Amino acid sequence: MSASRGGTGAGDGLAVHLALFGAQAGFAVFPVFGKLALSSLPPLVLAALRVVAAALLLEAYRRARGDPAPARSDRGILFLLALLGVSFNQMLFILGLALTTAVNTAVLTATIPVFTLAVAALLGRESLTVRAAAGLILAFAGALVLLDIRHFDWSSSFVRGDVMLLGNCLSYSFYLVLGRPVMARMPPSTAVASVFVFGAPLILLCAAPALARFSPGAVTPGAWASLAAIVLVCSVVPYLLNSWALARTRASRVALYIFLQPLIGAAASVAVLSEPLTTRTLAAASLIFAGLGVTLWPGRA
């Protein structure tokens, strides 16, 4: 793939768009493979195995390419990105997925573009227009509909799972905005391998009790196969593609492609897991997508 670094929209090449599409397609099927893996893998064990395996593969890929290790001066920001984009992001995602449905998971990922623009405005990276503020309100309203705020019940596993997924989306939004300048000045393999390597220890620490009780013999072949797909199809390849594209275009454009996740993810969840699309889920999705439309089109399309 070839594209000039630092593209800002109109100059983005086809390769950037193909990379963004491929990344989001990989991320989109994570809830489906995740649900299949969670059938016999505990959530924190799944998170730990996924991140450690991906870290080893990404670091091996970096070394095979001969790309440099990160400079000492970059390690602080890379550690912060590791917490936001790997440690907090993945633990909240998998714990949330274990408690709610794959369809809800897919729908809530659509809040990431709006959160990303809000974070970019908060940090002074992009301007927050009236249109963007209205989009944020609509997307937040959709999240509240999905949480059924009128009958909010923290004892409900679905509610706890959805709240964790919103936390995951916000964490990833900070990762996108803060990571853009870093990705622009180093090879994608260096940046992504670093955030996984730096993010793995915290997940291992949190998963230590579950790992101590873990019995590999109790895991079904299907769950192991799903874990392999999570590592390769939903982790290594999408993160490399996403980071490559992030170095060449705006964070808000990268976030815009996330609209593919709920479409692909919800369709896959219904087709593979036979999960229903409830009226509340459809209403929430409509509000969230309306928020996306108001925020990103036509002014930011």
How many whole angstroms separate alpha carbon 185 and alpha carbon 261?
28
**What is the residue whose two structure tokens read 């593979």?**
272
Structural domain boundaries in the chain:
16-296
Residue 130: C-alpha distances to residues 95, 137, 142 (Å): 35, 11, 19
Two structure tokens written together for 95: 């714990």
pLDDT, one tens digit per residue, over 128-169 is 777 778 877 888 788 778 777 666 666 778 889 999 999 999
Please count the other Cβ atoms lying within 10 Å of the Cβ belonging to residue 191.
Answer: 28
Two structure tokens written together for 262: 């709920």
DSSP H helices, the chain, are 14-28, 30-37, 43-65, 75-82, 88-99, 102-108, 112-122, 130-147, 157-184, 188-213, 221-231, 237-246, 251-256, 260-273, 279-296
**What is the residue whose two structure tokens read 């019995």?**
215
- pTM (two decimals): 0.79
pLDDT, one tens digit per residue, over 173-231 is 999 899 888 877 888 889 889 999 999 999 999 999 999 999 999 999 999 999 999 99
Q: Which residue, 271, 226, 239, 280, is CA-closest to 107?
A: 280
The answer on pLDDT for 64 being more than 80 is yes
The answer on pLDDT for 27 being more than 90 is no
Average pLDDT, the chain: 84
The answer on pLDDT for 6 being more than 60 is no
Read off the pLDDT band of 69 (50, 70, 90).
Answer: very high
Please count the other Cβ atoms lying within 10 Å of the Cβ belonging to residue 141.
Answer: 17
What is the dihedral sign for C-alpha 108, 111, 112, 115? negative
